[in-house]
Amino acid sequence: MLAKDFQIEERMRIIASWLPGHGGITALNDIIIRPQHIARVHALEVLIDDKPLTTYHADGLIISTPTGSTAYSLSASGPIVEPTLRALILSPICPHTLSMRPLVISNQRRIEIHSASESYLIADGESVEKMPANSVVKVDRAEFTTRIVNLSGRDFYHTLRTKLQWGSTRTFTGDK
């Protein structure tokens, strides 16, 4: 880094707040809402800009940033999103329907999630908050960003190819 052979990228963060009156919790990768009771389908009603989107019947919901699109959201069949884009990704976890797929929306939108049952709110797999039944969670882009240092030759696409083996072909060698 002394040779200044690097770039600094600004990565968006998201903030989740829940009613009534709880402060916010921020994340670089994702906010997850999942039921407190395991092995039960969770009904999560989602509004975008105060308009009903859908009610997810799933094991939970991941709201991720583009940076988080290659984390838990990817494992839940979410799309890979270039980290410099300003977007939010909604990925249901094991939805109980064949027609429910991840959705990418502008980060200018406001997301509101209503949970009728007790749930957990998890930020970046670290911060866990217990939420009572009938909680409302609001997710927005945070006012501040995180700066990431990219060394020369190690851009997003390099990482996709090397760490995630994206686009690689595998040769089947048969049973040996």
* CATH number for the domain harbouring residue 136: 2.60.200.30
User: Could you tell me if residue 96 is inside a domain?
Assistant: yes
Is residue 64 included in any domain, yes or no?
yes
pLDDT in tens, 10-34: 999 999 998 767 778 999 999 999 9
Residue 83 belongs to a domain: yes
| Strand, coil or helix: 3 | coil
Domain count, the chain: 1
Asked if pLDDT for residue 87 goes beyond 90, the answer is yes
**How confident is the model over 41-51, as pLDDT tens digits?**
899 999 999 99
91-141 tens-digit pLDDT:
999 999 888 999 999 999 999 999 999 999 999 999 889 999 999 999 999
Q: Which residues contact 159 (CB under 8 A, 6 or more apart)?
A: none
| Single-letter amino acid code for the residue at 159 | T
Decide if 3 is inside a domain: no
pLDDT for the residue 176:
52
pTM for this prediction? 0.88
Q: What is the pLDDT of residue 169?
A: 73
Residue 42 located in a structural domain: yes
In a domain, 37, yes or no: yes
* Residue 172: per-residue pLDDT: 59
Is 170 part of a structural domain of the chain? Answer: no
What pLDDT, on the 0 to 100 scale, is given for residue 40? 79
Q: Is residue 78 part of a domain?
A: yes
- Domain hosting 21: range is 11-149
- Between these two residues, 170 and 100, which has the higher pLDDT value? 100
Are 156 and 172 in contact, with CB atoms under 8 Å apart? no
